[in-house]
Amino acid sequence: MQASRGLNILQSSPLDASTVTQSRLVQIEQRTPSDRYVPSRFNAMARGAGGELVVWNSFTGRINSFEGPRVNEAVQVLESGCNGTLEGIAKYLADRGFLVPQSCDEYKVLQLAAGKEHYRSDVLELFLLSSEDCNFRCRYCYESFQRGTMAPEVRAGIRKLLEKRIAGLNRLSIAWFGGEPLYGFPAVAEIAPFAKQLTDRHGVHFSSHMTTNGYLLSPQIADQLLEWNVNAFQITIDGVQEVHDQARPLRTGQGSFDTIIGNLRALKKRTQDFLVRLRVNFDNDNRANVEPLLDLLANDFARDERFTIAFYPVSRFGGPNDADLDVCRPSEGYRLRIAMMDAARERGITPAGTLREASGLGTNVCYAARPYSFVIGADGKLMKCTVVLDREDYNIVGRITEEGDLQIDPAKFATWVEPAFQSDTTCQQCKIVGTCQGMACPLDRIRDGIRPCGNTPKPTLNASLLQAFKYGPAAANTRPGIMLRD
């Protein structure tokens, strides 16, 4: 008998996301009654207090749960594999990629699939610093605010670059960053509508995101951004008013909370489709104030799928106040993050940053590691990482010319885009290597010489799997967007 097999996409589970990429590499195998099937090397399993079993395949992104008498049956197959003709639960698990033919070398399949994605020439991702200055002075900020709005010759170069590349692209992504990108609104107003018109004319998929503090996101500005397809935003709120205003004041020292909340409420009244990811940065100083913030946010944004929320422990990224930051220990930060996600969902606010976002081939690879991704500074510098920016020479990999050419230093560039898992034997043995490919944060390897496992779901894998079971389909239904540190 013959059937297509491998790391494929055939059936659905209530825990899968609502959309699954259909273009992913599929391995085709022939099944015969004598085949032996073994557990996929990419499987991860967790057992809950009620006896339930949750199994996840990090390569395909498939998640399934089992309860009652089916648990022992599934565990036996997932631990021991099976021989002969596939029937019942064994066939179901094989069809979903949790079992693979013993003859299948999954690591080679991963190498092929990862290479196909990593070296794409039909994708271009640009992170544009429309302004490197900012109207805020956040206590944990690492930026130096050396430049204002993007120079006219840099804007011209970006337009020329898009014109040169557009015919060969299937996908263009532009993420506006800073500083505060709306502090450089003239650059946004010059490039964003140009990119939309160009991609519309050539039939290229275009997405655009903005990491903004939200203070300048007035209804009038929002009108224009949405018209230009800038329709995904990350906006940080670090607590109720008095807490947020201490952490994220204006450069004048005044508070920013009321204006941000007012702009968010104005967005809420719109009928257009957009995505706002509310980001909460927490440390030992403000962690106790997260739940009061969730109570406040739930009054306005609960059960509106356009608004999600994400929680991140504050880190020391080289800012002037690093010594004064009371950061959480990594293990405590992971635990608090899971608890905060639960608290948000209980209030009707959908958490972002769930397991599903880091589930599947390459979904947890940092943008800085991709050869088709560039940060372009306000003065035309080409960079890879939005944390380091131009504070370190190794992150400045070239520059863009006014004619739209990318002048790249190949030696510097290569250090960022090396497929790290191919030379890291520990990564090669990891069950979630398909999601991060050892490149969740290339900065960790370049600057500190360490494996970036702290940037993957590995430390909270069991808790994340059980959370997916606890909340069912909703725990997996998060919408895509580019997430940057802010």
Q: pLDDT tens digits, residue range 426-450? A: 999 988 898 889 999 999 999 989 9
Q: Cβ distance 181 to 130 under 8 Å?
A: yes
The CA-based diameter of the chain, rounded to the nearest angstrom, is: 74
Measured between alpha carbons, how far is 326 from 312 in angstroms, rounded to an integer?
14
Question: What integer pLDDT is reported at residue 477 of this predicted model?
Answer: 32
Average pLDDT over residues 165-193: 97
Average pLDDT over residues 311-325: 84
90's tokens: 């064994």
Phi-psi map region of 423: left, alpha, beta (phi>0 left; psi -120 to 50 alpha): alpha
Question: What integer pLDDT is reported at residue 358 of this predicted model?
Answer: 63
Per-residue pLDDT band at 4 (split at 50, 70, 90): very low
Per-residue pLDDT band at 456 (split at 50, 70, 90): low
Average pLDDT over residues 146-175: 96
Measured between alpha carbons, how far is 146 from 153 in angstroms, rounded to an integer?
18
Which tens digit of pLDDT belongs to each residue from 114-128?
Answer: 999 999 999 999 999
Which tens digit of pLDDT belongs to each residue from 86-113?
Answer: 889 999 999 999 999 999 999 999 999 9
Measured between alpha carbons, how far is 353 from 478 in angstroms, rounded to an integer?
8
Average pLDDT over residues 238-253: 94
Average pLDDT over residues 183-188: 96
Using H for helix, E for strand and C for coil, what is the string for the chain? CCCCCCCCCCCCCCCCCCCCCCCCCCCCCCCCCCCEEEECCCEEEEECCCCCEEEEECCCCCEEEECCCHHHHHHHHHHHCEECCCCHHHHHHHHCCCEEECCCCHHHHHHHHHHHHHCCCCEEEEEEECECCCCECCCCCCCCCCCCECCHHHHHHHHHHHHHHHHHCCEEEEEEECCCHHHHHHHHHHHHHHHHHHHHHHCCEEEEEEECCCCCCCHHHHHHHHHCCEEEEEEECCCCHHHHHHHCCECCCCCCHHHHHHHHHHHHCCCCCCEEEEEEEECCCCHHHHHHHHHHHHHHHCCCCCEEEEEEECCCCCCCCHHHCCCCCHHHHHHHHHHHHHHHHHCCCEECCCHHHHCCCCCCCCHHHCCCEEEECCCCEEECCCCCCCCCHHHEEEEECCCCCEEECHHHHHHHHCCHHHHCHHHHCCCCHHHHCCCCCHHHHHHHCCCCHHHCCHHHHHHHHHHHHHHHHHHCCCCCCCCCCC
Question: What integer pLDDT is reported at residue 457 of this predicted model?
Answer: 63
Cis preceding linkage at 61, omega within 30: no
Q: Which residues of 392-410 are buried (b: 16+ CB within 10 A; e: fewer)?
A: eebbbbbbbbeebebebee
Per-residue pLDDT band at 67 (split at 50, 70, 90): confident
Q: Return the half-sphere exposure (C-beta side, CA atoms, 13 A cut-off) of residue 259.
A: 15
Is pLDDT at 384 greater than 70 in this prediction? yes
Measured between alpha carbons, how far is 207 from 184 in angstroms, rounded to an integer?
20
Average pLDDT over residues 67-92: 89
Q: Which of 133-137, 161-165, 231-235, 466-470 has the lowest mean pLDDT?
A: 466-470
Which are the contacts of 81, defined by CB distance < 8 A and separation ≥ 6? 36, 37, 38, 39, 99, 102
Per-residue pLDDT band at 265 (split at 50, 70, 90): very high
The residue ranges of every structural domain in the chain are: 116-366+471-475
Q: Are strands 123-129 and 171-177 parallel, antiparallel or unpaired?
A: parallel
Q: What is the pTM of this model?
A: 0.86
Q: Cβ distance 82 to 36 under 8 Å?
A: yes
Q: Are strands 205-211 and 171-177 parallel, antiparallel or unpaired?
A: parallel
15's tokens: 């825990």
Average pLDDT over residues 129-139: 94
Map tokens 């631990």 to a residue: 79
Say how far residue 30 (Cα) sits from the centre of its chain.
Answer: 36
The residue type found at 23 is S
Q: Cβ distance 189 to 224 under 8 Å?
A: yes
Q: What average pLDDT does the structure give for the chain?
A: 86
Pick the CATH number of 116-366+471-475 from 3.20.20.70, 3.40.50.1100, 3.40.50.510, 3.40.50.700: 3.20.20.70
Q: Cβ distance 31 to 86 under 8 Å?
A: yes
